[in-house]
Amino acid sequence: MEEFSETQSFLSKEQEIEIWALFLGAKKRREGEVREMNKKLVILEIVPLVFLLTIAFVPIDKASGSDTSFTVVWITDTQNLSQYSPADYDTACTWIVNNAAALNLKAVIHTGDIVNTDTDTSQWDNAAHSMGLLLSNNITYCWCAGNHETFVPQSYPAFNLNTMRAKPYWVSDYNGGIDTAINFNFSGQNFLVIDIEYWADNSVLQWANTLLASHPSSSVIIGTHAYLDPSSGYDSWAANFKATVLDTHANVFLTLNGHYHPAGISTGRTRVGNRDELYFDRQDLGAATIRLFTFDTMSKTIAVKTYDTVLSSFITDSDNQFTLTPSVAIPEFASWIILPFFIMAATFVVSVFGKKRNY
């Protein structure tokens, strides 16, 4: 009997050729299927990759507001509202509360003359009720005394120092609360606001200088009742204040004051070095009018607008609507937001295109 060989085939030559043909055909079909699968996968992978890269490199739309801008509101010389028109004072503060979220409101600064007569409790009742609207709605605010008040009563929560000192934004106060200081933060940049009484004495100026020295990296707004006059000049007190406080601290980029109210003049401004100085007082023209400072971190500007809360209208002449270009730090668009998306995109690229596909 013929011995069986391991190399002996049970198939004819024709059958072997047929099987090999079937195998090669199946292999080619499989290779074709893999190529088509890879094409589809590339498309599926590119779409999310493009999305990730778009998020990574395109800034958030400015229309989102709170991501790229914030607002500070200025009110001043409300004495006539406290005495004669408390409903209008309420209107102003209610408008601020109702628009706080849309404005991304960071602070309200009152630069004095809260009441007409500081011994008239009814005026303080009215003022405290209006300012209490800010307090009860967790609005950050500060105040100083004007020439119409020599003290700020502590019997009202809206002006009570124990109440205010418990607030996270409260920095300091002096002279029983006729001088105050607060701060707020936006995108990692700290802003300090110091609000100084009318014709403050040297002890107050020292208090202010101490605060400034302890906040060298903060961008600082100084409010005071009287400083820049309607002709953009300075009286003797203001000249000394300028020389001993403002000019010695380069991080003070903005001053705000009221007090003056000559007929027909309600606003003025000047620039001293890197500092914008603004005067504003509409006590005889509608004291429920407020100033809005909208800081735009994309354009590095401050849009200043003036709004009459009683008439529900903006005052749009060039003295009441203008743009400031401060030299101090306005926070950059939060570019750190981009980094996580960039890392995600890079990781995605490596994981997708760096692997070998064997389908």
> What secondary structure letter does DSSP report for 336?
G
- Confidence at residue 27, expressed as pLDDT on a 0 to 100 scale: 60
Q: What is the dihedral of CA 258, 261, 265, 266, to 10 degrees?
A: 30
Residue 63 lies in a domain: no
What letter represents residue 309's amino acid?
T
Place of tokens 């001293």: 272
In this structure, the answer to whether residues 171 and 252 fall within a common structural domain is yes
| 108 shares a domain with 218 | yes
Indicate if 220 and 252 belong to the same structural domain. yes
- Establish if 298 belongs to a structural domain: yes
Q: What values do phi and psi take at 241, rounded to 5?
A: -60, -45
What angle, 0 to 180 degrees and rounded to 10, lies between the N-to-C axes of helices 86-103 and 121-136?
A: 20
Residues 31 and 90 grouped into a single domain:
no
Cα separation, 67 vs 334, whole angstroms: 8
Tell me how far CA of residue 232 lies from CA of 148, 235, 342, 358, in angstroms. 23, 10, 50, 78
Q: Report the distance separating Cα 326 and Cα 221, nearest Å.
A: 12
Distance CA 314, CA 307 (A): 4
Beta bridge partners of 302: 295, 324
Neighbour tally for 245: CB within 10 Å:
22
Let me know: does 291 contact 258? Beta carbons within 8 Å.
no
pLDDT given at position 330: 67
On whether residue 184 sits in a domain, the answer given is: yes
> Strand pairing of 189-196 and 219-224?
parallel
Q: Are residues 111 and 244 in the same domain?
A: yes
Mark 156-184 as b/e (b = at least 16 C-beta within 10 Å): bebbbeeebeeeebbbbbbbebbbbbbbb
The answer to whether residue 359 is domain-embedded is no
Query: How far apart (Å, rounded) are the C-alpha atoms in residues 252 and 213?
Result: 11
Decide if 8 is inside a domain. no
Shared domain for 48 and 107, answered yes or no, is no
Q: What is the rounded (10 degree) CA torsion for 111, 116, 119, 124?
A: -60
Q: Which domain holds residue 132?
A: 68-333
* Cβ(193)–Cβ(109) below 8 Å: yes
357 secondary structure, DSSP code: P
Say yes or no: 40 and 186 in one domain. Answer: no
Tell whether 324 is covered by a domain.
yes
d(CA 174, CA 210) in angstroms, rounded, equals 12
- The burial class, CB within 10 Å (0-12 / 13-18 / 19+), for 202 is exposed
Reading the block at residue 305, the tokens are 């607008």
pLDDT at 12: 67
Alpha helices by DSSP H, listed for the chain, are: 13-57, 79-83, 86-103, 121-136, 161-165, 202-213, 236-244, 338-353
Residue 322 is predicted with a pLDDT of: 97
Co-location of 242 and 320 in the same domain: yes
Question: Do 234 and 87 share a structural domain?
Answer: yes
Please list the ranges in the chain whose pLDDT falls under 70: 1-66, 263-264, 329-359
- Is there a domain that residue 3 lies in? no
29 shares a domain with 97: no
Is residue 92 domain-shared with residue 111, that is, in the same domain?
yes
Of 267, 231, 226, 273, nearest in space to 254 by CA: 273
Q: Which of 54, 110, 77 is nearest to 282 (CA)?
A: 77
Q: CB under 8 Å to 275, separation ≥6 — which residues?
A: 246, 252, 253, 254, 255
Is residue 305 within a helix (H) or strand (E), and if so which, with residue range?
Answer: strand 301-308
Domain shared by 73 and 48, yes or no: no
- Beta pairing class for 289-296 and 313-315: unpaired
Q: 192 with 221: CB under 8 angstroms?
A: yes
Q: Are 39 and 249 in contact (CB under 8 A)?
A: no
Torsion of CA 243, 245, 248, 252, to 10 degrees: -120
Domain-embedded: residue 2: no
Number of domains in the chain: 2
Q: What is the pLDDT of residues 222-267, one digit of tens each?
A: 999 999 999 999 999 999 999 999 999 999 999 999 999 886 678 9
- Could you tell me the CATH number of the domain that includes residue 256? 3.60.21.10
**13 φ, ψ (degrees, to nearest 5):** -60, -40
